[in-house]
Structure formats: C-alpha cells, structure tokens
Chain A
Amino acid sequence: MDEALQHTCAGLRERFPEQVSEPEETFGEVSVRVRPGRIAEVCAHLRDEEGFELLSDVSGVDFLGVAPPDERFLVAYHLASLSKNVRLRLRVFLPEGQEAVPTVTGVYPTADWQEREVYDFFGIIFEGHPDLRRILMPDDWEGHPQRKDYPLGGTKVEFKGARVPPPDIRRQPTTTTGYPGRIA
C-alpha cells in the first residue's frame, strides 16, 4: 500500500476509531469501511486534512441474496487526491429496511447528482440532501430499478382496441406485391 495512504488510514483510525475500519487492499485498491452515521465528517476530514479534493464517484450496490440482510446495500465513495495521486474507497453498508445515510453534499457539492442517482436506482435516502428527487427515471416512477428484486423488463405496453383478424382475411404483406426496382 502506498505510504501516503497508510498515513491517511492511520489518521482516520485515530480520529474516528469507532467509525472507520482497518484498511483493506484488494486488486491494488484500498478501501475502508465506514459506519453510516458520520460519513460526512469522515469526508470533511479527508478533504481538509488529507488532501482528497475530488469525490470521483458515488455508487450503489445491492447484495440481495449474497450478503446478509444487515449488509444488503453498499454505497461506495471513490475519493481521489490529485495532489498526492492516491485513491481511497469508502464503503458504507446499509441494512435492509434502514437504507439511509447522511449526505456528503455539504463537503463535496458534486455528490448532489450522484446521490440523487443512487436514490433513484436503489431507494437509499441521503439525509439532509438539498434536493433528493429522482434524476434519471421519470418523477412518478414506482420502485427503484437497480435493486436486485426489481425485475428486468419494460413498462407495460397497452394495445388499446387492437384486434387481430383471422388468418384467412389478413392482408398480404406488402413486400410480396413488389416495389420499384425489385428484381422479380
């Protein structure tokens, strides 16, 4: 693990011993688990003390059937420090039925649309978000489409008043009658 990151993680553990786990390195990427309650303070610490200027990405994952119900949802925050050229992932697991985490828009304004997207697709509430509405799905949409228990499929298509005539009185397909330039 990068030295700067080791230092960062040690500082985090010292400042938030109850909230932040030991760092974990997988595939060359470092992540720490953070309890949902004080995520905004953790982010503020990382931005102001450790030089993580950029919140790259906020991403939701639904581990239905893979993880136990009290760790069903994951919100992953991908932070980047341009000055130190390191990246850190904060992982916040949320239990089924209490899908809520404080917003980080106060620390990183870029989280505004990203948290709206996670809310839209996973139904995770970002407490204190200034404008938590759906962003990509229509405003009156029901359900949160990227949850694993939300079926893949389109909206119901309604054919109002469509009747299919019996085969013997159906029109012949127009292409058999030929068209200009067709080689017979």
Chain B
Amino acid sequence: MSTRELHLGGSDWDDVVAGAEDETMIINMGPQHPSTHGVLRLVLELDGETVVNCSPVIGYLHTGIEKNTEVRSWTQGVTFVTRMDYLAPFHNEMAYCLAVEKLLGIEAPPRAQAIRVMLAELNRISSHLVWLATGGMELGALSMMLYGFRERETILNIFELITGLRMNHAYIRPGGLIQDLPDGAIDQIRDFLIDFPKKLNDYENLLSNNPVWLDRNKGIGRLSAADALALGVTGPMLRASGVAHDLRKSAPYSGYERYDFDVPTSDACDCFGRYVVRLAEMRESLRIVRQAIDDLPSGPIMVADPKIAWPAQLQLGADGLGNSPDYIRKIMGESMEALIHHFKLVTEGFKVPVGEVYVPIESPRGELGYHVVSTGGPKPWRVHVRDPSFINLQSVPHMVRGALIADVIAAVASVDPVMGGVDR
C-alpha cells in the first residue's frame, strides 16, 4: 500500500476535465442526486461504465456550528452540537457533555448515565434503520425503505415522549439531563423491545438471502483492515474489516462497562460485511437497552452543584409552557440571593477551568471525538468535532476506483454518511 494509491484526488471541475484522458468522461453525481445521502457531490471520471477516479466535493451543508459554539454559553453548546449528525443527536450531545464534564471534573449521577446509555443505544438502532432503509432503497429493495422508516418512527415517538422533540433534542446537558423520564416511557420502550426483534428477523429474511441484495453487496466496496486504519475509518466499517475496535469496550464511558454485550465483526471487508455488522449491532443495542431499563438506578438526574445545575425541574403547565411554580415563587417572592444566582446562571452561565480535552465515543458511524478547549471563561474557546462521517467518507474514492457506477451507490450507502455531520 503506497501513499500514491491512497491519494484521495479531488480537485475542481476545471482541473479534473483538463486532466482527464481523451477516452474518459467526467460526470457529476450529486450534489442533488437522491442516492448521495443529502448534498454530497461526487465527480466521477469514467471509462465506459468503469470508475477511473472519484473526487468527493463536500461543504454544501456547512453551517459554522463550531464557530457558533464559541459565542454561546457552555450549556447552549448542546443545542448546536445536536444538529451536526442529525441521525445521532444523543451521541453528539453525550460526547460534548462528557467533554465539558471532564473539564469541570464532575460526573453525571448514575441515573443520568444509565438514561444516556439507553437513549444512545435506541438512537443507534434508529440511525442504523435509516441506513438500512435508504441503503435498501438505493439498491432496489424498496420495501426495506418503508419498513425501516416505519420502525424508526416508533423510536422517534419514544424520543418525543421523553424529550419533547423527535430530533435535535438538547436533552443531555453538562452535569446530567434536563428532565427525568416521563410516565409511560419505560412501558413504551418495553413494548418496542418485545416487538423489534421480530422485525429484525423479517429484515434478515428479506435481504440476507436475496440474490439481488447479495450481488449488489458482496465483494463491493472492498476495504482491507490496513487501508481502513490508514484512512482513519472507524465504527461498523472498521469492524466489517475484521478489527474488533469499539470504544464502548476499549474505553468505556457513561457506565458502558456495566453492560454485557458483544462487538460484532466480519472478515468480509465489503458492503455485505458492513450490512451483517450493523444488523448484529442493532441486536446488541437491544440487549444494552434491556439491561439499562431493568437496572435503572434511582436518584437525581443532575449533579447537585447549584453553580452548574439549572435550578428547577421544569413542568409543562396548563398554558403549554414549561415552568416550575414553586421555584418561581421562591426566587420572585422570597430570596433575592436566589434570584441573582438564577439570573447569573441563566444569562452568563458557568465557568469552566482552563484546559483542553479530547473525548471520543462510539457513535453509530464510528469514533465521534470532541476536542474542547477552555480558557476559563463562560464560553468554549474552541469546540472541534471529529465527525466519523467526515473521516469515513474519505475512503469512498479508494473503494470505488475500478468499480462500476452502480457500485459507487452501494459503496456510499455502506459508509452511511450524514452530511450534517460531514459539513458541520
């Protein structure tokens, strides 16, 4: 493996066209192609139907989230980061909060940690369902698309019940959670746990022996373990290349060491291997969710430190607004000190000690790392996100060189990129 082989190419349209050989054709795939998962543009150099070169062009969805976090308080940062990889909002929130908590030297209470794990694993299932649904649709398994989104809807309903929103929850906050679980949430999750394994069997019956599915996935988008590591590829893609690396096992966070689960791998190194790994991961996630709700600790969901924790457990009143009448009575009627304290915490926020941390967690797509730098102020100095989609997408040119155009679709689908995370 030389560097030249792995050189990722990628240049402007004019350069690509000028540099092309006479016999090849340059076409644009995307940025609005339905199978590019959002706004990914691939500039393909083709010899007939064979891909000679491929240059991904990204940045169409760049929204400056990292810059924006620098002018908001530490707590407000959660609302931004949850919008990056919008299929895995809980993972973004959790990684950011773990980084802030590491700087503060605090740890969320056990109940908050367990709820975080439970939500993260449900989120992993819902994210993999979108991968299966869209990936299936792109390779002609249209019924898979309908089933996948149907089941994801069940999970999103659970999220809506718990956090109030289907996506972009901002539910996990530095120090814990914003709210405890509402009534009925556990029952709804238990129903899902009973129902979903049957559905997973249905998917396997539908796809695993389907000749079209096998032909379009087996041996396609090959990526050896060495190439994957050199290209920084992590997550299910790396595990499908035979490397059993999972941060939940190797560097447990948020209490993952308490749960019993396996790390599925495959030696196939191709799109089919990634399918097998992700499907098996959904079963493992179900195991973790089951353990988390069976063994859910009681207690607070936020650290006790009043300098960090927002003061009230907000309740939804008859007027549809969230407030805590007791707390308002206290700060408005009884204690001037409490009012000042509340005002400072909500407007200015808390201060975080000087330093820098890098916190990686295992998101559905791989290593999601937050490099957070504080200079001691009430706002982050810098929040850099190592988004797994961004890194994994680099492997596409390597996987598709020499393949057919149709295989490009399969390869991109097997990366499962989320452009909101790629472009941030």
Where the two chains meet, the residues of A that have a C-beta atom closer than 8 Å to any C-beta of B are 26-29, 53-57, 59-63, 66, 76, 78, 80, 82, 85, 87, 89, 105-106, 108-110, 112-114, 117, 121, 130-131, 133-139, 145-146, 152
Contacts and interface: CB of A to CB of B under 8 A. Distances in A.
Interface in B223-248: 229-234, 243, 245
Interface string B358-378: 101000000101010101000
Interface of B: 3, 6-12, 58-59, 62, 64, 66-68, 70-71, 102-103, 229-234, 243, 245, 250-251, 355-358, 360, 367, 369, 371, 373, 375, 381-382, 384, 386, 390-391, 393-394, 423-424
Contacts of A62: 382
A113 B386 contact: no
Nearest to B247: A80
Given A56-B367, A109-B8, A131-B10, A152 B384 contact: no
B59 A138 contact: yes
A56 B382 contact: no
Contacts of A55: 232
Given A27-B355, A29-B358, A85-B251, A137 B59 contact: yes
B355 A114 contact: no
B369 A57 contact: yes
Given A27-B102, A138-B59, A146-B66, A106 B3 contact: yes
Given A106-B3, A146-B67, A27 B423 contact: no
Given A29-B358, A139-B12, 11 more contacts: A53-B229, A55-B232, A56-B358, A57-B358, A76-B358, A78-B358, A78-B369, A106-B3, A109-B230, A112-B394, A134-B59
Interface residues of chain A: helix, strand, loop or mixed (majority) = loop
A104 B375 CA distance: 28
Given A57-B358, A109-B3, A113-B394, A82 B250 contact: yes
Contact of A66 (B70, B251, B360, B381): B381
A131 B384 contact: no
A27 B394 contact: no
Given A135-B58, A136-B423, A54 B229 contact: yes
